[in-house]
Each structure stands twice: as structure tokens, then as C-alpha cells.
Amino acid sequence: MSSLAADFSATQSLLWREIIRFLRQRSRIVGALATPIIFWLFLGFGVGQSFHDSSLPGAMNYIEYFFPGTIVMIILFTAIFSTISIIEDRREGFLQGVLVAPVSRGSIVLGKVLGGAVLAAGQAWLVCLAAPFVGFHLDATGILKILLLVPLLSVMLTALGYLIAWPMDSTAGFHAIMNIFLIPLWLLSGSLFSVQGAQGLIAVLMHINPLTYGLAAMRYCMYPANSPWLGSLPSESFCYIVTVVTTLLLLAGCFAVTLHERKA
């Protein structure tokens, strides 16, 4: 039991450190929160007026269409910024200090992933408060679902960031992965354009992208049940199954890479 208490203490402390660090670094707040919001406003008002996606039902404007994608982007960016610090921690020697503590490797993974996820979920929820002002009328079930789905996606994307950052020794490498993998992951999740509107390889990539289902689940939270929009999406329960399974697989991956620590 005492070792479990030690693990809990370590997880708690690592989580606390993530939050303190975040609050000390103003640029991270700007990067994770302001960037997606600006992106959303520019695309929503700019692109929304110039183009019309024929696959979108006429009643919905682009700013509404793009809102769930913005929430996911906030989560993704926060996850990236908090897991990239693993690479700095390793280079600086801070990580070694954590690895020689008498705690299980699992508690280190949890502390780091939950820390990043708390930051991501907190910011995403904050922006969700704006939903009623941009035309979404969330009912109690919708709100409840957001309260659950946002943390789930936050854990999923932070675990993904952790898995990428853990074996890396340069932040430049992480930035490369971010550009060629993480951003496309988001672009091809149905955040900017619907799966129905895509063709060929892009459509295939969108179908196998687990984030597509996370984003669809987000749409289920925000759009009314009778929305024509939801008809074109995979079923809600399937979306949750894919998201939960992906999250568990990624977490298992995090535990595996941390247990098999090679570079110390």
C-alpha cells in the first residue's frame, strides 16, 4: 500500500508541476489558446464567405462547422506544448532526477499525461463556454457529453505527444513530426472539411484517422439531435468506441516506452 501512496504522491507532484510551468509561460497560453481561436475566426469569417462546401447542409455556416474542430485543435496544441517539454527535461537532466526516484514508471507516465490533459481540457472547456454565442444551443446531455469527451480527447492527444516525445532527443525533431504528422492528423479529421467532401486517398486517410471519430463525437455533443449533419457521421457509440480504444492503446504505448527506457 505504501508504494501505491508513493506513486500517487509522485503523480500528483508531476501534475502540479505541469500546471505551474504552464501558468509561468505566457507564450504557451497564447500558443495553445489564441492560435486556434484566431484560426477559427479567420477561417470562419474569411473562407466561410468565399467558399461553399456543397456537402454542408445549407442551414449551417462555416463558423459553426469549424467550431468543434477548433476545440480539438486547442487540445492538440496544448498536448504538443506540454509533451515537448519531455525532450527539454531529458536534455537538462531533470528527467533523470525523476527516473531515479523510488516510484513506478507508471506514475511518471500518469503524472505527465494527466498534467498535459488537465491543461488541454481546461482550455477547451473555457472555449466551449463561447458555444452559445456562436449559435449552438447545448442541452444538458450535450454539456454532460462535453464534460466527458473533452478530457478523453485530452488524454488521447497528450498520450500521443508523450509517445512521440519520449524517444526523441531534439525539439527540432518533434517540430518536424508535428508538421508532417500531427497537424495533418487534425486537418484530416473532418475539422476543416467533411469526410463526404473528400476523395481518393484523402477520404481513405480520413476514414482510418481515429481523430475523425473523436471529432464526430464532438459534433454529436454540439449539434441538435435532429441536425441533418449528424446523418452523415458514423454512429455516436462507434465514435466513442474508437476514441476510447485509441486512448487506451496510446496509454499502453506510453507505459511501454517508459518501462523500456533506453537513453538515460
Partner 1 sequence: MSHAPFLTVQNLSYSYSERQALKDFSLELNQGEIFGLLGPNGGGKSTLFKLLTTLRPLQLGDIQLDGLCYRCSPRELRSLIGTVFQSPALDKKLSVYENLWHQGKLFNLPSPILKKRIDLLTERFGIKDRLRDSAEKLSGGLQRRVEIAKALLHQPKLLIMDEPSTGLDPGIRLELWDYLQEIRRSDGITILLTTHLLDEAERCDRIAIIHEGHLITEGKPLALCEALGGQVLSVTTENTSDILDLIKTELGTTPKIYGNEVRLRLTSDFDKMKTSTLAARLADHPQVQAVTLSRPSLSDLYLEKTGKSWTQH
Contacts of 262 (CB under 8 A, 6+ apart): 167
User: Which is closer to partner 1, CB of 2 or CB of 50?
Assistant: 2
Handedness of CA 178, 181, 184, 185 (dihedral sign): negative
Provide the total of helices (H) and of strands (E) in the chain, helices listed first: 14, 0
Rule CB under 8 A: choose which of 57, 92, 148, 238 binds partner 1: 92
- Under the binding rule (CB under 8 A), the answer on residue 9 touching partner 1 is yes
- Under the binding rule (CB under 8 A), the answer on residue 100 touching partner 1 is yes
Element (H, E) at 77: helix 62-92
Rule CB under 8 A: choose which of 12, 61, 196, 232 binds partner 1: 12
User: Which is closer to partner 1, CB of 4 or CB of 126?
Assistant: 4
Contacts of 5 (CB under 8 A, 6+ apart): none
Rule CB under 8 A: choose which of 46, 57, 97, 135 binds partner 1: 97
Residue 26, Cβ neighbours under 10 Å: how many?
9
- Interface segment toward partner 1; rule CB under 8 A; list 14-22, 51-59, 175-183, 215-223: 14-22
123 close to 78: Cβ distance less than 8 angstroms: yes
- Interface segment toward partner 1; rule CB under 8 A; list 33-41, 47-55, 95-103, 214-222: 95-103
User: Which is closer to partner 1, CB of 24 or CB of 50?
Assistant: 24
Minimum distance from CB of 39 to partner 1 (Å)?
Answer: 27
Which has the closest alpha carbon to 215: 64, 83, 67? 67
- Under the binding rule (CB under 8 A), the answer on residue 196 touching partner 1 is no
How far, in Å, CA of 63 to CA of 47, rounded? 9
Residues making contact with partner 1 (CB under 8 A): 3, 5-6, 9-10, 12-14, 16-17, 20-21, 24-25, 89, 91-94, 96-104, 261, 264
